Structure 1
Amino acid sequence: MTKQLPSTNRSLPIALIRAREGVMAPIRDMLAETGITEQQWRVLRVLAEFGRMDTKTLADRSSLLFPSLTRIAATLRDKGMVTQTRGDKDRRRQFIEITALGQKMIDDRAQEAALIVTGFKTTLGEQNYETLLDLLALLDPGGKD
């Protein structure tokens, strides 16, 4: 073992992966019977919050690679949860918007999602929860939200 590397118990990448799994477990449970994935949920959440947007912005705000968003948007479109339209001025530019069905998916789970967040805040404490979000934002190269 080399002394240059920190213990895996104190490795930031490993700690973040473990924390992600801890955070995502209750969300996966919430989504288990919906027929949508974590990534699809993120796309719907972003659209519900910000409204219609171009695919590049949506990929960035959803923390998805553009090719993944393209596939996810097509799946959500096929499920009737989003619409895709071309830009009026630039036909190459695509816009995605949540439909009433997609919004219903969010609305039907809003209370359960809020309880999940409350659980995190209870575990961490309100101040630690907010501090953690602030600290993680410092590591986000594109994080301006």
Structure 2
Amino acid sequence: MTRKLPSTDRSLPIALLRAREEVMGPIRAMLTNVGITEQQWRVLRVLDEGGAMEPTRIAEVACLLLPSLTRILQKLEEHGLIARRRDQTDGRKQIIEISAAGSALIAENLEASIALNEAVRERLGAERYESLLDLLNELSSGRAAD
């Protein structure tokens, strides 16, 4: 018996990509008006939510490769949206924190960001939205289903 790949409309990788584009399109439009990329936005969100942290942790939480993060941090620093400092206990490490300007940028776009998120939530319904998030988080954490 010859096995076949599932059709593209039943392919998880393709479905995830399609869903990502559906969700990210309006967010990209919002960010274009702000003048930052979606990767820069993710870094700012991570720092705003989690506080100051090392670049490796930022890369992990923001789903970025470390070499890409290095370039992103340079741009954010050039725009005054983040600040770097040496770790007080280990001078070889650097700590990145969001600046007042970075926090202001998040605050200025908070309502638009929430509205975009709520539009997706309304489209799916609250229960299905939460279930989707649970399933995606389960998939990305490598946990097995209960």
TM class by smaller structure? over 0.9
Partner of 2:13: 13
1:61 aligns with 2:61: yes
Q: Any gaps of 5 or more consecutive residues in structure 2?
A: none
Residue pairs, 1:26-105, within 5 angstroms = 26-105=26-105
Q: Structure 2: how far apart are the matches of 1:129 and 1:139?
A: 15
Shift in Å, 1:89: 2.0
1:126 aligns with 2:126: yes
| Paired letter, 2:118 | T
Q: Structure 1: how far apart are the matches of 2:104 and 2:14?
A: 36
Q: Any gaps of 5 or more consecutive residues in structure 1?
A: none
| Paired letter, 1:4 | K
Shift in Å, 1:138: 1.5
Q: Structure 2: how far apart are the matches of 1:36 and 1:92?
A: 29
Shift in Å, 1:141: 3.7
Change (3 A) 1:36 1:17: same
TM-score with structure 2 setting the length: 0.92
Count the aligned residue pairs. Answer: 142
Aligned-pair RMSD on alpha carbons? 1.4
SS of the counterpart of 2:105?
A: helix
TM-score with structure 1 setting the length: 0.93
Shift in Å, 1:93: 1.2
Structure 1 segments of 4 or more deviating over 4 A? none
Shift in Å, 1:91: 1.9
CA deviation digits over 1:109-140, x for unaligned, max 9? 00000101110111000011100001001221
Shift in Å, 1:142: 7.2
Q: Structure 2: how far apart are the matches of 1:67 and 1:95?
A: 16
| Paired letter, 1:61 | V
Between stretches 33-42 and 2-11, larger displacement belongs to 2-11
Q: Structure 2: how far apart are the matches of 1:129 and 1:47?
A: 25
